[in-house]
Amino acid sequence: MLMRTASQSLTEQLAAHFAERIGDRLLAAGTRLPSVRQCAEQHQVSPATVVAAYDRLLAQGLVEARRNRGFFVRETRAAARADAAPARGGPAQVRPPVDAAALMRGMFHGVGDLPQPGIGVFPADWLAADIVAAAVRKVTAGPALSALSLQYGEPAGDMALRRALSHKLASLNVPAAPEQIVTTLGATHALDIVSRTLLRPGDHVMVEEPGWAIEFARLQALGAIILPVPRRADGPDLEVMARYCQAHAPKLFVSVSVLHNPTGYCLSPGSAHRVLTLANAHGFHIVEDDTYSHLAPDHATRLSALDGLQRTIYVSGFAKILAPGWRVGYLAAPPALLERFLDTKLLSTLTTPPLLERAMAWCIDQGQLRRHAQRVRTRLDQARARSAKLAQAAGCRFVSEPAGLFGWVDTGVDTEVLAQRMLDEGYLLAPGALFHAGRKPGTLMRINFATTQAQPFWKVFERVRSEQQTSRARPAAAP
């Protein structure tokens, strides 16, 4: 909010507002700033004030003017951080995500008291603090605390947990002996172990699109070349995959078979069979990320079940459903790859915490995890129904049938612009561009059903979107 009584002029405040967003990567390189007229309307200042503020940003090297097109954020992220205006008083604020790193910060730190529609996790009060506490008390009773704390754990992970995981995977028809399982610091760590072991800079990797922003960024940081594969209701676009196989000989295909993020799609048996046929014909491995397995029916089609862990590598964890702070995940893999994965784990983290792994094994063995997951699914079904009804009443259209934790909705307006405007209202959105490797702009966004089941958010959403539509309908002024 610009304050006319502040010690800074309106021009200085407006320039600092955009500089801060650019420095925090809220406005990514290449993002177009609002037109002079639109910005003046939104912030209730004169066009001359906006022109002066944009001139300051130009002088700082944060934006560039493109003739007859407007002002765009420059490709100078480091300079943006250095030149950003001094922080205003008060506690540091977490900014909405426009890239993967900012998205992670938004997940890990509170963004206010409002339920946040763009986050990728359940609210804390949905998780099972009592189960977690009971598990820790159980495994730390007597001499167990010293035994599990005063020495490194087994390199592959606590055997009690690996046995429990083997039984759990058997219920999903995924054949994995305890010796085929390596525990990790969450599912993301498992994905990283696989990538660091099997990939070298310049290798090609097929990834579903839309897909998880963190995965795109992580692979790019390793030097991999991403080949986006359109995700359809029944599975990946097989024709696109076949062309990639012929042209690029990819090393990996990263897939979310069940409750795909962000669409909620589930793989069909026919599509799964054809994906495995391609993998066998062209020699690539498939990394199956089953992070949301606890929310899905056990009979859902999984590539690892059909393949028997021959070309597939199964990855999952428990942060989403039970204990985010424990960071317990795992991978199940073909025997020929296990020693290589284990070497990578040892080089990156040595071992994983045996105490927490033993507590997780207790949760599984005692049926606590299964019962908790069932309660969450029931609660989520109710939240999804409420959220979907409110979203449709607010004028949104679901691109895919609502399922799982996330909804993939068409808002009818540019969601990157919408995310900027909703920030001023205290809401963190996940615009569709986040879920495309090439940051494709559009009208889609992902919503979290657990945090969008109340009407206040949708009332604000409708008002802000209406303002955006009205502003768009008027002819834009030249910069």
What's the CATH fold of domain 1-92? Arc Repressor Mutant, subunit A (1.10.10)
Right CATH for 129-366 from 3.40.50.1010, 3.40.47.10, 3.40.640.10, 3.40.50.10470: 3.40.640.10
The pLDDT value recorded for residue 428 is: 86
End-to-end CA distance of the chain: 23
Q: In angstroms, what is the C-alpha Rg of the chain?
A: 24
Element (H, E) at 49: helix 47-59
**Could you say which DSSP state residue 475 is in?**
P
- For residues 184 and 344, is the Cβ–Cβ distance under 8 A? no
Between the alpha carbon of residue 330 and those of residues 151, 161, 178, 318, 460, the distances in Å are 21, 10, 11, 9, 40
Tokens, residue 248: 């690029």
Tokens, residue 102: 């900012």
DSSP 3-state of 231: strand
- In this structure, the strands spanning 285-289 and 252-255 are parallel
Question: Residue 403 corresponds to which amino acid?
Answer: A
- In this structure, the strands spanning 181-184 and 235-236 are unpaired
**Could you say which DSSP state residue 83 is in?**
H
What's the CATH fold of domain 94-120+367-479? Aspartate Aminotransferase, domain 1 (3.90.1150)
- For residues 161 and 360, is the Cβ–Cβ distance under 8 A? yes
Distance from C-alpha of 351 to C-alpha of 356, rounded to nearest angstrom: 12
DSSP 3-state of 232: strand
Q: In a structure prediction context, what are the per-residue pLDDT tens digits for the chain, which is 479 residues long?
A: 677 666 788 888 899 888 888 887 767 777 788 888 888 888 888 999 999 999 999 988 999 998 888 898 887 544 334 334 344 333 333 333 345 555 555 554 545 678 889 988 899 889 877 898 999 889 888 777 777 777 888 999 999 999 999 999 999 999 999 999 999 999 999 999 999 999 999 999 999 999 988 888 889 889 999 999 999 999 999 999 999 999 999 999 999 999 999 999 999 999 999 999 999 999 999 999 999 999 998 789 999 999 999 999 999 999 889 888 889 999 999 999 999 999 999 998 989 999 999 999 999 999 999 999 999 999 999 999 999 999 999 999 999 999 999 999 999 999 988 988 888 788 889 999 889 887 777 999 999 999 999 999 999 999 999 988 887 665 544 44
φ, ψ (nearest 5 deg) of residue 312: -100, 150
What is the tens place of the pLDDT at every residue in 415-428? Answer: 988 988 888 788 88
The pLDDT value recorded for residue 479 is: 42
Exposed/middle/buried for residue 12 (C-beta within 10 Å: 0-12, 13-18, 19+): middle
Alpha helical stretches, state H, 302-454 = 303-307, 335-349, 354-365, 368-393, 415-423
Question: Residue 180 corresponds to which amino acid?
Answer: Q
- For residues 47 and 40, is the Cβ–Cβ distance under 8 A? yes
pTM: 0.82
The pLDDT value recorded for residue 101 is: 53
The pLDDT value recorded for residue 79 is: 38
- In this structure, the strands spanning 312-317 and 285-289 are parallel
Taking alpha carbons only, the member of 318, 388, 379 closest to residue 164 is 318
Element (H, E) at 77: helix 77-83
Residue 231 bridge partners (DSSP): 236
**Domain limits, the chain:** 1-92, 94-120+367-479, 129-366
HSE-CB for 231 with a 13 A CA cutoff: 28
φ, ψ (nearest 5 deg) of residue 41: -65, -45
- For residues 98 and 416, is the Cβ–Cβ distance under 8 A? yes
- For residues 341 and 287, is the Cβ–Cβ distance under 8 A? no
φ, ψ (nearest 5 deg) of residue 418: -60, -40
